[in-house]
Amino acid sequence: MNGTLTNQFIIVTGASSGLGLAMAKALLMQGATVALASRSGAKLTKAVQQLREMGFDAVELGMDVRSEQSIKEAAEWVKREWGRIDVLVNNAGIGMKTVNPNFLTEPQPFFQVSPEGFRDLMDTNVTGYFLVSRTFAPLMVQQGSGKIINISMNYETMKRKGFVPYGPSRAATESLSFIMAEDLKEYGVTVNMLLPGGATVTGMIPEEVREQLEGKVNLLDPEVMAEPVVYLASAESDGLTGERIVAVEFEKWKTERGR
């Protein structure tokens, strides 16, 4: 398959559904070889199988972003099978429903959030991005090239009532991204952020809550991430680092920067 990403080796975490799966498919459609990384299970296997049946070069990569050992084994697989990694998309995360299933209709104050729920979400959404990046960045440094794309959320989410710990987790993700970009500049490795620009139709919003929101909130399709993630993974974005791109404003962003 010919495309703008032919001969590019890419990992997308949290790729068994939602934004991750949509981005993986968009990258595959441009000719990339994509490892869909997620905790092992039938969901991941089925997603990869369906993509392979469509003729895409999709690979199943079992990886728990909270486990150093699991990430290390994934990195060893990449070195052995691919010999390099061109793009890493950090997307794996869990949402507010893990601490409050009714977070959109009945927001819960931070002082009612359990310490376990807080730690669990932060471990996945923040520490997970750190652990995966920490493991794969040295390979990119060694190559003298590579791109890291960290998926984030609206600033509104970081300030919204009842959004502890999800809001703080994404604020931390953005700070981490800016610092990573600075730390990796001298090595020819770039780090950028990408966010949908609104609530998306993913598993992070419980089905019953989604039904209640229909007609009241304009939920975005995960495919809103397709064009900007392909851009960030391609040669078009070479040299771009420390940027925060909102998917729904992507065309405006490109126009403003003359890209």
Q: Is 4 within a domain? A: no
Residue 1: its pLDDT value, please?
Answer: 46
User: Tell me: the pLDDT tens digits for 199-256?
Assistant: 876 655 555 555 555 555 578 999 999 999 999 999 999 999 999 999 999 999 999 9
Q: Is 2 within a domain? A: no
CA-angle at 203, arms to 198 and 205, nearest 5°:
55
Residue 166: its pLDDT value, please?
Answer: 97
Q: Is 1 within a domain? A: no
Share of the chain above pLDDT 90, in %: 88
188 pLDDT higher than 90? yes
User: Tell me: the pLDDT tens digits for 136-174?
Assistant: 999 999 999 999 999 999 999 999 999 999 999 999 999
71 pLDDT higher than 90? yes
Q: Which residues touch 75 (CB under 8 Å, ≥6 apart)?
A: 135, 136, 139
The overall average pLDDT reported for the chain is 93
Residue 143: its pLDDT value, please?
Answer: 97
Residues labelled catalytic: 166
187: domain CATH number? 3.40.50.720
Share of the chain above pLDDT 70, in %: 92
Q: Are strands 189-195 and 244-246 parallel, antiparallel or unpaired?
A: parallel
Using DSSP's 3-state secondary structure scheme, residue 213 falls into helix
104 pLDDT higher than 60? yes
Q: Is 40 within a domain? A: yes
Q: Is 218 within a domain? A: yes
Domain that holds residue 183: 9-256
Q: Which residues touch 159 (CB under 8 Å, ≥6 apart)?
A: 167
Residue 213: its pLDDT value, please?
Answer: 54
Q: Is 203 within a domain? A: yes
* Total domains present in the chain: 1
87 pLDDT higher than 80? yes
Q: Is 68 within a domain? A: yes
Residue 3: its pLDDT value, please?
Answer: 83
Q: Phi, psi (5° rounding) for residue 101?
A: -55, -25
Q: Is 3 within a domain? A: no
Q: Phi, psi (5° rounding) for residue 85?
A: -140, 130
Look up residue 156 and give its two tokens: 């509104």
